Structure 1
Amino acid sequence: MSAPVPAARTALVTGASRGIGAALARSLAAAGLDVALLARDADRLTGVAAEVEAAGRRAVALAADVTDRVAVEAAVNEAEFALGSIDLLVNNAGLVDTEVPLWEADPEEFARVLTTNVYGPFLLARAVVPGMLARGGGRVVDLSSGSGTRDSPVMPGYNTSKTALFRIGGGLHAAGFDRGLRAFEVAPGVVATDMSTGMAMHADRTDWTPPEAVGELVAAIAAGDLDPLSGCYLRAGTDTLAALRERAAAGPPAGRRLVVTDWDSPS
């Protein structure tokens, strides 16, 4: 078991120019973290950076594509130079594919979704985690989804990608926990963003997850409050912080990991 990991002082959030990513940047700044913001839209990033700075924290705007290895490595270097470290990585950038079954899916769209949603977090973690380990630890959060835990008739690219994130986060936990690395798969619920409100499955939805619930959960992870739950799947808007803190105080849980059960095991 590694020594306790200090609370994060800095964070890098991808997909930070709008939606959940921008909300997370604001929440982390309000929690006292300096924030590096990464997205492709430089103009939108400037606006979010101004909000972080208005909260009294440092902000670094990084215009980059999460699927571009060279750009990602350069952005991480810039963030570490500006902030001194990246203590928390939040892999939020992502795409959804058309709501059709697999045999109707567009192959190029499928590949594009997997590249953004899986290869992107891989590149970010690969660039950020070595620095965390050198400093004695850090935390990685993947914005996952309940869609990655169950079968779905549509959106094969999105569902496959969110399942893959469990293997990325689980692998980081398995390989890095004893060296101070903590990894979490966080489902944000259904937040009313440009992406979600345009989906047919949410056309009549009225019970949206408030973005503040996602921000509170990630801020608690940044503070180290939930470190014993590293490797687990957490759900904003469903899990309360009080319940998660109680669970963390009880020690590492056996559940909330993506596994295949045997024939006679309870589902």
Structure 2
Amino acid sequence: MRSNGWAGRVRSPLPAWCRVVDLGGQVALVTGASAGIGRRLTEGLAVRGVTVAGVARGGERLTRAMAEVADVTGGRTLAVPADVTDRAAVEAAMARVQEECGPIDLLVNNAGLVDAAEVSLWEADPDQWWDVVESHVRGALLVSRAVVPTMVARSSGSIVNLASGSGLRARPEYSAYSVAKTGLMRITEALAGSLAGTGVRVFDLAPGVVETDMTRSMAMWRGKTDWTDPDLVVRWVVAIAEGQLDQWSGRFLHAAADNVDVLARVDGLNDDARRLRLCEWGPEDTFRR
């Protein structure tokens, strides 16, 4: 790896899960890129010709991961260590990515923590609880605000926020994660509304339950064997990057439950489709939005 963080080596063969679609010329930024879903996304994008900048807190682990991706795919990667909750660090990182890679076409807000223990809200450590919320919500806020202006200026760009079913329905034992993912979904809808007509689109994408260090650490998944194939998540992000799902901007997609080809053909969505809404309790409910 060169001292500036770039990697671009070649090794074969490519992983069997890769379905190669040429996205050459695009630049992607993936947060939480050193492991898990983020690491798999960097590889899935790089093998399709995307220049991929990876962001994560641990510089050594991130640099190693981006070098491995370059080795496997022959793609161009850039390791940019930064804490997504640190405003100055994020702004410096985004400036570096855009200077060395060019304008960002695709942003994937994937970084985020999970509750340290399966306990009720009042039993949780308040500092760790808040760290979880900040990692998802403040992280997505800071990275998005640093990237969106250039996308708007170019009238083009896609943002994918890694959502979760926990954002739709609270899990008492993972209250911080549930609050964080619900907040992230509101960021998606707010962004999509403000970006209407600009050519920039924003999506919530729930990956399903992919086997990662984080999911293996969660007691609720102990003994699980039917994990979601991470290549499904790659396929959805690629479809978004290709513009197949533009009509779903501001809405919730699920990599394991939905079908890309089906959703790509959907037209005429109503305002509430796949968005967080309060349901009426019955015909006599007097509250209306």
Provide structure 2 residue ranges, at least 5 long, that are not aligned to the other structure.
1-22, 284-289
Provide the residue aligned with 1:45 in structure 2.
62
Please state whether the residue corresponding to 1:242 is helix, strand or coil: helix
Picking from 112, 133, 156, the partner of 1:94 is 112
* Match in the other structure for 1:110: 129
The 8 Å contact of residues 114 and 158 in structure 1, kept in 2 or not, is answered as: yes
Please, what TM-score do these two structures have when normalized by structure 1?
A: 0.92
Q: Hey, what's the Cα distance between the residues in 1 that align with 2:251 and 2:24?
A: 19
Equivalent residue letter for 1:100: V
Once the two structures are superposed, what CA deviation does each residue of 1:77-129 show, in whole Å capped at 9, x if it has no partner?
A: 11001111111110000101121111211111111111111101100001000
Which of the numbers 29, 33, 37 marks the counterpart of 2:46? Answer: 29
The residue aligned with 2:32 is 15
TM-score, normalised via structure 2 length:
0.85
Among candidates 180, 192, 195, match of residue 173 of structure 1: 192
Alignment counterpart, residue 82 of structure 1, candidates 90, 100, 117: 100
Equivalenced residues, count: 258
Deviation at 1:246, TM superposition (A): 2.2
* Structure 2: distance between partners of 1:165 and 1:152: 16
- The counterpart of 1:209, out of the listed 214, 217, 228, is 228
Are 1:237 and 2:246 matched, yes or no?
no
Identity %: 48
CA distance in 2, matches of 1:259, 1:181: 24
Higher-RCO chain (CA-CA 8 Å, sequence separation at least 6):
1
Secondary structure (helix, strand or coil) at the match of 1:35 reads strand
In 1: Cα distance, 2:282 partner to 2:227 partner:
36
- Structural RMSD (CA): 1.6
- 1:202/1:262 CA distance change after superposition, 3 Å: same
Corresponding residue for 1:71? Answer: 89
**SS of the residue 1:239 aligns to:** coil
Unaligned runs of 5+ in 1: 1-5
Letter in 2 for 1:128: V
Counterparts of 2:182 and 2:234, CA distance in 1: 22
Inter-partner Cα distance in structure 1 for 2:142 and 2:58: 19
Describe the SS at the equivalent of 1:178.
coil
Q: Which amino acid aligns with 1:12?
A: L
> Partner residue of 2:216?
197
Query: How many Å separate the matches in 2 of 1:152 and 1:43?
Result: 34
8 Å CA contact retained: 1:187, 1:234: yes
- Write 1 or 2 for the structure with the bigger share of helix: 1
Change (3 A) 1:253 1:8: farther
The one of 183, 188, 193 equivalent to 1:164 is 183
Is 1:149 aligned with 2:161?
A: no
Match of 1:125 in 2: 144
Measure the CA separation in 2 of the matches of 1:43 and 1:215. Answer: 25
